[in-house]
Chains A and B, each alone.
Chain A
């Protein structure tokens, strides 16, 4: 649970005031209640680009544009784990070295001049990613490569690359499955490594990656449903590659309008890139999330907003007895296992198989004679 009490607000001076009407008290109480909208005290971001090679330029640009937004809204580099599987800015084929553009005609350079990449090149592997999430890193790992979150952290996890139904490809040589990811999040939950977690994925068939989640306080967004491809955007002739993917492009445009005091909530985020713009159908999942998405601010995950209000009045706060926003216990095991029943469609036997078996039977009986049937029946 979480506490409420005058000791929690060091800036408030508990003294007698002139105004002591109940209306005034209620007003301050409402303001104070609005103040404690969420239970997180720090923000983290894990941004991963999983593909390498020059023609996957757009995945690096995707990740860097989310990095730029997150940093602009206040999350410092020490709280961002940035994993880029390849170096596009210094690639030999980049006609504009030290830049990664997200808009064609080179309008916006998302590489900037203070990018801090924590995991680079071949260090971006499934094992490293899962170790970062679960915290099981060797003691020699530097602090910049660790996710040092606690149970009051809101974590934003952004993945992009090439994916399929139930998996995401890392580095052209391995893949992470949706089951592994769900289990990693469960480990994080059991170790109380997050308060709330927002998971965004921009790959083909991205919705399959959040199908298997079963831990509480997870909200997920994907750029396309199962069976759909996420499309690329922004073809640039001077550089010779696609610069961004559609979903992240429109996500970046949306985030460019968010500032630290913005009151935009998750419902606005779900509306980013409708089918008319994205061609694929973005999806989201909120059933494991305790709060109503309409009350969740964008800056709860994308920014690191510390609200401090100084007031001269005293506010008496009553202890909060309802458990409306209490943590829920883990779902029972039976429910986890049977969370998504596998549908086995019955297919009638293929014509070819039928024909083959008929042929085999015919040859058998032709060779050995019909009268031997009686030995079988």
Chain B
């Protein structure tokens, strides 16, 4: 009767029943949760589960503006002039740009910057970068200079993006003659795309995050409310593509995408996202797979943590920005520059009406198409299911750890071994894994000189191959760490280590998923099964192979292949491998140049976590 009155959890009989249930059902529930997480993610793209996009900001309202931009042809003439001057001078034609902007009535300023990359960038073929940004400010005729909007176009070294600069200058001339601007408009032509943009933004906001060398800005508008980056390389376009993903997977406010979409519909321009057209047959297999592909591309782009357009760097300063890219493919219906100019005019007029920064709509979302979105409340459970697996495993280990001492007490004889593992035997793998991670983070760049002297490779290849070498060397660690261990590992030892590893991974993945859901989800997809099933008692060779195949490095390789497949440009194995190497080098460069956090996260935290699990597999 006394036990009858005890609570559910403090009664040892009932507790034992609960824990038995937990232990028995643990693996089936884990498998179920994993399948549920994957199924939930796939179901996100199914149209009835998504919501139609709508304008949330009251001040922007409907597309109720009258666009009257007339000068598309003149913009193209300007573009051709710009191209000619660019070819002649070899770099950005600074003087010509300054003169042209001044003739259009803007306040023109230039900014020079220089930067030495940590190792040469083979994709863009640059190492010592020196350049100049040119920007002109259109002052609002009657408003105080407290707020600004930015329209930017990159100055590309080859013959691309001339039309973007031409259209920018044409719009500048047209905007100058209007009196309804309540914010300053800054027309920016940046050199060396992202590096120039980073220099400009750092100087504008008086910060110096990445150690770049730039001249301070002599002219400034107010605080920037929104920015649009334009990439236009042909006289006519067949569609406009919207690029949203920015640095570290940050996305602009969904209202900016909604604004673009509504104006595209008003001007009757074909608009795409991820360069994929929206289909109306959502209930057919091909329609659903198109939506899944679009969403998967967004997930992969967001997970890479790199800015996919010049707009990506604005987001760090809480400036909503997007890149509009003109695409000229084989379609019958073509849109001319005047219509694109009118679209931009309409968007800027609506942004002009803003009273506060865009904040009414979502900041965290996934887009299976431009008119449908999935908000954070709907996609987070997919990751939640995967995180629950880790927690269930941790609970199971805790129960096992609680059960073990009683087993050894009742067991054969009294053993001399202490039942609790020593702190050293737990800390050693953890510390060594993190040291390896730190080596993976710092050594490749630092040792490139050494590697170039001894091996016939270029600096970039040296860096990447050193990284891969350190990564692979980590696989040999368990055999070596045992030399440092004072005592033999016990049954309890690996359980405690696994508990620590599983909780550590859970915290890491959850924090990553909060900031960058895509990165957290992709890492969870491969790491959670590894963390769940690895024990010293599973068949060693098979599990070793599976673990290596599910390691962060291989996850990156799969992502590269998947990305190419989804973009309908599949690559062969050799090309894929070269692409993989360039992705690694780009990741390291992004971290050094713009402060992307994917490479440090993978090197310093995810990889050591995986190494700890690898250690558990080879526990003796």
Q: Which residues of A contact B (CB under 8 A)?
A: 53-55, 90-95, 97, 235-238, 240-242, 367-369
Contact = CB atoms under 8 A, between A and B. Distances in A.
A92 B182 contact: yes
Contacts of A55: 58-59, 61, 353
Contacts of A368: 5
Contacts of B349: 240
B180 interface: yes
A237 B345 CA distance: 13
B64 A367 contact: no
A92 B180 contact: yes
Given A93-B182, A240-B64, 12 more contacts: A54-B353, A54-B355, A55-B58, A90-B142, A92-B143, A92-B180, A93-B353, A95-B180, A240-B65, A240-B180, A241-B64, A367-B7
20 contacts: A53-B59, A54-B59, A55-B59, A55-B353, A91-B182, A92-B141, A92-B143, A93-B180, A93-B182, A93-B353, A95-B179, A97-B179, A235-B62, A237-B64, A237-B65, A237-B66, A238-B66, A240-B180, A242-B64, A369-B4
B352 interface: yes
A98 B528 CA distance: 65
Interface in B341-366: 349, 352-353, 355
B10 to A, nearest CB: 11
B353 A240 contact: yes
A369 B181 CA distance: 75
Contacts of B5: 368
Contacts of B66: 237-238, 240
Nearest to A240: B65
A90 B58 CA distance: 21
A238 B140 CA distance: 18
Contacts of A54: 59, 353, 355
Interface string B268-304: 0000000000000000000000000000000000000
Contacts of A93: 180, 182, 352-353
A174 B356 CA distance: 19
B178 interface: yes
A53 B355 contact: yes
A55 B58 CA distance: 8
B8 interface: yes
A32 B217 CA distance: 82
A367 B353 CA distance: 62
A242 B58 CA distance: 13
A55 to B, nearest CB: 5
Interface string B133-146: 00000001111000
B61 A95 contact: no
Interface in B38-77: 58-59, 61-62, 64-66
A240 B4 CA distance: 74
A371 to B, nearest CB: 10
A368 B5 CA distance: 6
- Residue among A53, A55, A90 having the largest count of chain B Cβ atoms under 10 Å: A55
Contacts of A90: 142
A242 B8 CA distance: 64
Interface string B419-448: 000000000000000000000000000000
A341 B440 CA distance: 76
B221 to A, nearest CB: 14
Interface in B456-484: none
A367 B181 contact: no
A32 to B, nearest CB: 56
B36 to A, nearest CB: 24
Please list the 5 inter-chain residue pairs (A to B) with the smallest Cβ-Cβ separation, ordered nearest first.
Answer: A92-B182, A237-B66, A92-B143, A95-B180, A240-B65
Contacts of B353: 54-55, 93, 240
Contacts of B143: 92
Interface string B160-175: 0000000000000000
Nearest to A372: B5
A240 B353 CA distance: 9
A95 B182 CA distance: 10
A189 to B, nearest CB: 39
A83 B353 CA distance: 24
Interface string B5-39: 10110000000000000000000000000000000
A242 B62 CA distance: 10
B142 A97 contact: yes
Contact of B8 (A97, A236, A367): A367
Nearest to A236: B64
Contacts of A369: 4
A55 B352 CA distance: 12
Contacts of A242: 64
A372 B352 CA distance: 71
Contacts of A241: 61, 64
Which of A92, A238, A241: most chain B CB closer than 10 A? A92
A101 B66 CA distance: 16
A237 B179 CA distance: 15
A27 to B, nearest CB: 60
Contacts of A237: 64-66
A242 B355 CA distance: 17
Interface in B72-98: none
Contacts of A94: 180
Contacts of B140: 92
Contacts of B355: 53-54
B61 A92 contact: no
Contacts of A95: 178-180
B3 to A, nearest CB: 12
A324 B536 CA distance: 104
Contacts of A53: 59, 355
A242 B349 CA distance: 15
Contacts of A367: 7-8
Given A53-B59, A367-B7, A92 B142 contact: yes
Contacts of B7: 367
Contacts of A240: 64-66, 180, 349, 353
B309 to A, nearest CB: 28
A38 B352 CA distance: 52
Nearest to B355: A53
B263 to A, nearest CB: 13
A104 to B, nearest CB: 11
A54 B355 CA distance: 9
A92 B146 CA distance: 13
Contacts of B180: 92-95, 240
B539 to A, nearest CB: 45
Interface in B156-200: 178-182
A115 to B, nearest CB: 19
A235 B66 CA distance: 11
A367 B4 CA distance: 8
A346 B438 CA distance: 67
Contacts of B62: 235
